[in-house]
Amino acid sequence: MAESPNAAPITPTPVAPFSAPMTGGLTFELAGRPAKYTVLYFYPKDNTPGCTTESINFREAYPEFQALGAEIYGLSRDSLRSHENFKGKLGLPFELISDPDEAVCTQFNVMKMKNMYGKQVRGVERSTFVIDAQGRLVKEWRGVKVNDHVAEVLEFLKSQP
C-alpha cells in the first residue's frame, strides 16, 4: 500500500506529559502508559460522517491494534457527555478524550483554519500520532483522509521491531 503523502517520517521525539478527562470517568495520563504504543487520533466532531467512519474503522481494527501492543484513543473538543453518547452509539471498545479547552490540540498543533461551506472556520485538523512506551512520538499523519488511514497506521505498527 502506498503511504499517504501526509504521513511524515520523524525522528522519535519526547512528548510533553499531559493529562485529560476521558470517557468511563477516567483520566488519560501520557506518563506511565503500559501499552507498547499509544495511538491518538484527533478528529473534528462527534457524530459527523467522516469522524463516525474513522471511529468505526478504528473499532473494527481494534483487535489487530491490541495484538501489536497498541492502545487507541480518540480525541476531540467535544464534551465528555457527547463522547459517552458517541462511544455508546458506535460501540467503541476504546476511550475518547475530551479537550474542550484545546490544551492537547494545541500541544499537538492540530488547530487549523479550514474551509467549511465557503467559510473560514477554526477547527481540528484530522491527525493521528503514534507514541511509543518511552513517551516518544514515533509517527504522525496530518490532514488525514479517512479511507485507508487505519490500514496505514496498522502497517506502520507491523513494521516496527
Active-site option among 22, 39, 51, 97? 51
Q: Is-contact 110 125, C-beta < 8 A?
A: yes
Least Cα distance to 143 among 124, 127, 121, 120 occurs for: 127
Q: Rounded to two decimals, what is the model's pTM?
A: 0.91
Check pLDDT > 60 for residue 5.
no
pLDDT of 1 over the 50 cut: no
Residue 105 annotated among the catalytic residues of the structure = no
pLDDT at site 2? 44
CA distance 33 to 31: 6
Residue 3 has pLDDT above 70, yes or no: no
